[in-house]
Amino acid sequence: MNPLLNIAISAARRAGDIIIRHVGRIDRLTIKVKERNDFASQVDRLAEDEIISTIRKAHPDHAILAEESGAQGSDDEFQWIIDPLDGTTNFLHGFPVFCVSIALRHRGRLEHGVIYDPMRQELFTSSRGEGAQVDGRRMRVTSLKTLEGALIGTGFPFREKHNLDLYLQMFEAVVRKAAGVRRPGSAALDLAYVAAGRMDGFWEMGLKPWDMAAGVLMIQECGGLVGHFDGSPGFPDDGNILAGGEKIYQALAEEFKPMLG
Ligand code: IPD
Ligand code: CA
Ligand code: CA
């Protein structure tokens, strides 16, 4: 296995162990409100410190972009993109859906991605050109062709509510057509599930690079599409992500396009 992917896996597992040690002890945590409805606990910090020190031991020269501690170093060469605990609101409520997400970008291109669900001990991994695996088994995105019968994931806008009108229009269109809509509460894990074909498509507004980086590579490596609400492809730097199997991605874009100004 690629040594860089190995580092990401071991960092993700170590962070997952820290998270699991604190499950059930949540009332003892100090919780920081970063912005309205945006929380972080010491667990986010501890997990992030563990990931960064695992990476630094092997590659002290690599740059880091991590949710809690921000950017260190330039992104010209290797840059690790880290969400130490994706789904903090779930975690703080004891709602068992959260994960660790780590990606590595080289010269701006995603090369490796790891998403680890410590509750189920499921490990999703991906390297450019090598596909993606869950616990070593090859993943594929959905081959479903229409929204009828599709299970679509999403995230509700929670920080900036000014997008709510557009979001609700999108939501209505999807609810009317799809078989089901889910909002599990961990965007990175949602994207891993799209890669695994457990959900047929996904959309959310206002995500950050660390929510998306590992999952984006996984979906692409599993034959899926990732891009913007109008269906144009590419990493959604604006945080508004559309993803899915090819036909579902296109069907969602067809629904959303007329709603975009
Ligand atoms: C959040 C989760 C959630 C998504 C939010 C993210 P966090 O990440 O991924 O599902 O709806 O947009 O910010 O704050 O728990 O790492
Ligand atoms: Ca996150
Ligand atoms: Ca987080």
Same domain for 163 and 250?
A: yes
Give the domain extent around 190. Answer: 151-259
**What pTM, to 2 d.p., does this model score?**
0.96
User: Total structural domains in the chain?
Assistant: 2
Same domain for 34 and 115?
A: yes
Largest CA distance in the chain: 51
Pairing of strands 78-86, 122-127: unpaired
Q: Per DSSP, what are the bridge partners of residue 134?
A: 124, 137
Residue 146 lies in a domain: no
Same domain for 251 and 131?
A: no
- The domain boundary, picked from 138, 171, 199, lies at 138
Same domain for 129 and 209?
A: no
pLDDT for the residue numbered 25: 74
pLDDT along the chain (261 residues), means of 10: 96 97 76 64 94 97 97 94 96 95 98 98 98 98 98 88 89 98 98 98 97 98 98 97 98 97 82
Looking up residue 166, the CATH number of its domain turns out to be: 3.40.190.80
Same domain for 14 and 121?
A: yes
Contact (Cβ atoms closer than 8 angstroms) between residue 82 and residue 92: no
pLDDT for the residue numbered 158: 74
Q: Is the CB of 87 under 6 A from ligand 1?
A: yes
Residue 143 lies in a domain: no
Same domain for 36 and 97?
A: yes
Range list of β-strands (E), 31-121: 31-35, 38-41, 63-66, 70-72, 78-86, 99-106, 109-117
Same domain for 105 and 186?
A: no
pLDDT for the residue numbered 67: 97
pLDDT for the residue numbered 163: 87
Mutation probe of ligand 1 site: the residue of 68, 207, 240 with most atoms within 8 A of C-beta: 207
- The domain boundary, picked from 90, 117, 138, lies at 138
Alpha carbon of 74 to ligand 1 centroid (Å): 25
Contact (Cβ atoms closer than 8 angstroms) between residue 180 and residue 218: no
pLDDT for the residue numbered 35: 60
pLDDT for the residue numbered 38: 61
CA-CA distance, 121 to 187, in Å (whole number)? 17
Q: Is the CB of 84 under 6 A from ligand 1?
A: no
CA-CA distance, 152 to 244, in Å (whole number)? 9
Kindly give, in sequence order, each residue whose CB lies less than 8 Å from that of residue 13, ignoring residues fewer than 6 positions away: 116, 123
Kindly give, in sequence order, each residue whose CB lies less than 8 Å from that of residue 216, ignoring residues fewer than 6 positions away: 110, 113, 191, 226, 235, 241, 243
